[in-house]
Amino acid sequence: MAKVFLIGAGPGDPELMTLKAARALRAADVVLVDELVHRGCLAHARPGARIIEVGKRGGSQSTPQVFIEKMMLKIVDAGQTVARLKGGDPFVFGRGGEEMQALLEAGVEVEVIPGITAGIGVPAALGIPVTHREIACGVTFVTGRTRDGREPNWEALARSGTTLVVYMGLRRLEQIASRLGKAGLPEATPACAIENGTLRTQREIVSTLAGLPAAAARARLASPAIIVVGEVVRFARASALEPKARAA
């Protein structure tokens, strides 16, 4: 029976994709691939598999979510197995939950294959542990961009004592830093922004909560990028702290 694999491709580097994800790709007749998935991951697709681009990137024209879901149903109805390949983990700001719900409601078998989410893998590539028993008792993942424009509870986040990892927040970095500062998070809190994490094109800016927006703007950092705020940023590897990559 045809089915759908919801696959997390990891944070960027194709070698960080799991063995189970690679096996699922080899079993698929059709692969629906997101914009942020490194195309090196497609080396695991079986010869002759149909590759369909269904990209989503902030600020650019994107394939409508409803269209993607209808496409998967149509392919499965034709008796073909689908690999839905997503960047990071399909259930962490990846709309995997929405897609799973639509497929299950239609009676389609779904297998979820987790991936390394960017909020863990990208800081780790820079030497930053998002948790540390002496510094951070937890980590909070939050999106800087919501569907309906609602703001996260910055006051609660500032008081949480956890490392903050912000997805899709680069375009609103100045507002995010300002709101966290007004909520009581010290302006000197270490913070960084990481572009193209885990890839050879990775760039990073390590600064403070107050200094990061201007530093990222000067460096012309671009999406996709992850923002990390918290004392654990002090563990960023030495090369990230060189003057050329740091704002005063």
Please list the active-site residues.
34, 56, 168
- Pair type for strands 82-86 and 110-113: unpaired
- For β-strands 163-167 and 139-143, DSSP reports them as parallel
User: Could you tell me where the beta strands, DSSP code E, fall in 43-189?
Assistant: 50-53, 82-86, 110-113, 139-143, 163-167
Give CA–CA dist 214/64, Å, rounded.
Answer: 33
Q: Are 88 and 116 spatial neighbours (Cβ–Cβ below 8 Å)?
A: yes
Cα dist from 209 to 82, 130, 146, 233, whole Å: 43, 16, 22, 11
CB 151 within 8 A of CB 179: yes
